[in-house]
């Protein structure tokens, strides 16, 4: 909802901000409102947890009571520190403890991954050298010129044919939804996997994975957490998102897999994680 529309809602007395609330929650007070425009806002407010941020933004957050009403909650995950859930727990003062995988086991896991994962390293990566390459705005600018997007798809097609040598049904790619059709190409078009896909074995037959994205958090989400004094490590978040997507492919079955990540930033995050002999949290317990 645009800031001006939010201000109108306040001015007309449809919503009020709870000044006593630490998080600046909003209550819908226009009980007699029968219109259509603010109906969805009323619906969200009825479930509580609508927060007013920086005098311009309304955010609905998952009710923290869901976690607080249990004696304990166990969250099975990986790279938790960079997740939005970790920031959410801090925002609502939900205490949690970290139960880590033994470092020796994680080192062994990464050594196996290093042997199985063929991450392309060659000239076709040059297009992604800029830090923002393959971000939404970068792709939006490239999409204005059909020749620019053709260069990207041509690189992918050539890599599949000359380097990876995999069949059409073994190939998958991703990008942001807005560019799905602009970056499709012969030999991989039917293998699109959403950039935020997770928790599925549906694509475990894919031996070549093409990652045409560079993940940055929505600035509104950053502002929301910042209003509560919480800072998110975008590098950790981007890495966690990338790992989730990569593990949709055949490597989840401990089988060899090709990977093309032209974004230098995203590729650096993944290779840095694989080569790191340290330990990362794999299981967190929200108390």
The confidence score (pLDDT) of residue 104 equals 93
Residue closest to 26 by CA, chosen among 48, 55, 56, 1: 48
Least confident range of 53-67, 108-122, 261-275: 53-67
Pick from 166, 206, 202: nearest CA to 187: 166
Quote the CA–CA distance of 199 and 75 in Å, as a whole number. 14
The C-alpha atoms of residue 212 and residue 134 are separated, in whole angstroms, by 6
**pLDDT tens across 119-143, in order?**
999 999 999 999 999 999 999 999 9
The two tokens of residue 56 are 């311009």
pTM, rounded to two decimals: 0.89
- Mean pLDDT to the nearest integer, 73-96: 92
pLDDT digits (tens, 9 = 90+) for 177-220: 999 999 999 999 999 999 999 889 999 999 999 999 999 999 99
Instruction: Find the mean pLDDT for residues 150-175.
Output: 97
Check if the beta carbon of residue 116 is closer than 8 Å to that of residue 258: no
pLDDT > 50? residue 284: no
pLDDT top residue among 191 and 76 = 191
């Amino acid at each position: 909802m645009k800031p001006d529309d939010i201000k109108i809602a306040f001015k007309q007395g449809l919503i009020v901000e709870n000044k006593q609330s630490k998080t600046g929650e909003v209550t819908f007070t226009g009980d007699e409102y029968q219109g259509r425009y603010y109906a969805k806002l009323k619906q969200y407010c009825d479930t509580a947890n609508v927060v007013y941020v920086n005098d311009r933004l309304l955010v609905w957050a998952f009710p923290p009571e869901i976690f607080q009403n249990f004696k304990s909650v166990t969250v099975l995950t990986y790279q938790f520190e960079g997740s939005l859930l970790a920031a959410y727990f801090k925002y609502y003062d939900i205490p949690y403890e970290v139960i880590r995988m033994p470092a020796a086991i994680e080192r062994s896991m990464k050594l196996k991954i290093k042997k199985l994962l063929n991450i392309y390293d060659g000239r076709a990566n040059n297009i992604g050298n800029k830090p923002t390459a393959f971000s939404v705005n970068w792709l939006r600018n490239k999409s204005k010129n059909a020749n620019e997007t053709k260069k990207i798809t041509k690189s992918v097609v050539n890599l599949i044919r000359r380097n990876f040598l995999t069949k059409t049904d073994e190939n998958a790619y991703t990008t942001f939804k807005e560019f799905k059709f602009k970056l499709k190409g012969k030999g991989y078009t039917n293998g699109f996997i959403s950039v935020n896909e997770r928790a599925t074995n549906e694509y475990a037959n894919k031996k070549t994975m093409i990652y045409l994205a560079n993940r940055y958090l929505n600035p509104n989400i950053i502002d929301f957490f910042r209003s509560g004094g919480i800072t998110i490590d975008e590098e950790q978040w981007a890495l966690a998102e990338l790992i989730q997507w990569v593990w949709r492919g055949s490597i989840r079955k401990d089988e060899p897999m090709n990977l093309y990540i032209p974004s230098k930033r995203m590729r650096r995050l993944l290779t840095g994680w694989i080569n790191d002999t340290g330990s990362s949290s794999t299981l967190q317990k929200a108390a």
